[in-house]
Amino acid sequence: MNIIVLGVNHKTADVELRERIAFPGEKLTHALKAMTAIDGIKEGIILSTCNRVEIYGNISDIDTGPGKIKDFVSSYHSIPIETIDNALYVKQGPEAVRHVFRVASSLDSMVLGEPQILGQLKDAFEKAIEMKTTGILLNRLMKKAISVAKRIRTETRIAENAVSISYAAVELAKKIFEDLTTRVVMLLGAGDMAELAARHLVNNGVRTVLVANRTYERACELARDFQGRPVKFDSFLQEMIHTDIIICSTGALNYVLSKDQVNWVMKGRKNKPMFIIDISVPRNIDPEINKLDNVYLYDIDDLNSIVDANLSERRREAEKAEAIIAEEVDVFLKWQASLDAVPTIVDLRQKAEDIRKEELKKALNKLGSLDDNEIKVIEALTNSIVNKLLHPPMVALKGDSDDKDILAATIRKLYGINGKTE
């Protein structure tokens, strides 16, 4: 039993190549069956996302197996092997196990600590189970990978702290306002990043969204998306009196909000806190506003600094995660080694049983007429002798020794056991 990982990701292949060798839903079912029908590929799972395409397999021969999977990818997508060969990575044995655990735990992701990959891996595993292309080895590997990812999220802070501009804005909002459900958000302009930040806020409890845009039709369209209310651009200042969070991205070349204007708004708010996010480049909001009491203004550089600090924190947590993975890889490999000993255990037991039955038959023939009780006593005696003789080698084969392959080969030679039971 040999575990192999073969694939490409965002570090080894550009998006065009990843698209060409992807296995979207309609192709995945057929591809799984076609791949595992190849001689020597005993099990297979295909993980296909926007950032990676990976095949996890159980192959019979470590020398020929990788080439067979490469040929499958090449022929299935009608792409010459030389086009993809340099981008493909191949990992086998312990390295393959470690890679799968790192992928599941998002240590190999474009965004360290992102949660989506674990769900995508689960979906790939479930599809392979549905298509019956997995067996004892990959089933155990995937279940272990999922449990390792959960352990890492429990024992480290790798998934904490925002690492995107839009989500950093949400984290700041949570620090300023304990409860977001009662807060009103206004989108000032309709930039993509501002829209994304607003969506994150809605996902975190915000119920009321106002949209002010120079093009009123665009404001109406975006407000419908948020089930909010459009605001005419020339009246957004009055609406700010009742707004707690402002996200600005207008594309204007000068300030659309001055210190004096916000000072007027704060009087109308009776100085209740206001959080303003200026995602625009160049800035659309006068930085002097930050000098006003209870007004918290952050621009794109402020948010980038928070993201950089949070990324550094995630990298520190990733070191703890790597230690956990090293420990869990060792546990898995010991289990796999015990699995490799099973054929020898089965064959040794069968060899002994065949000898016992043959010798018992000879003895019973020589003893002549015996009643059922006497035969049971003699049979129990032979069973007991065989079990006691087999006990030491069985314990050794089931143990945690590093030389189990040598031990199994020695036992086969000593007992004259040929071949290997699958």
The residues carrying an active-site annotation are 50
DSSP structural state of residue 327: H
Whole-angstrom distance, CA of residue 47 vs CA of residue 373: 61
DSSP string over 204-256: TT--EEEEEESSHHHHHHHHHHTT-EEEEGGGHHHHHTT-SEEEE----SS-S
Distance CA 10, CA 53 (A): 9
Spell out the residues 6+ positions from residue 314 whose beta carbon is closer than 8 angstroms to its own.
Answer: 112, 113, 157, 158, 160, 161, 163
Examine residue 282 and say whether the peptide bond preceding it is cis (omega within 30 degrees of 0). Answer: yes
**CA-to-CA separations, 58 to 4, 41, 45, 55, 141, in angstroms, rounded:** 6, 6, 9, 10, 11
Do the Cβ atoms of 137 and 3 come closer than 8 Å? Answer: yes
Q: Give me the amino acid identity at 55.
A: I
DSSP at 270: T
Q: What distance lies between CA 227 and its chain's CA centroid?
A: 33
Cα 275 from Cα 289, distance rounded (Å): 11
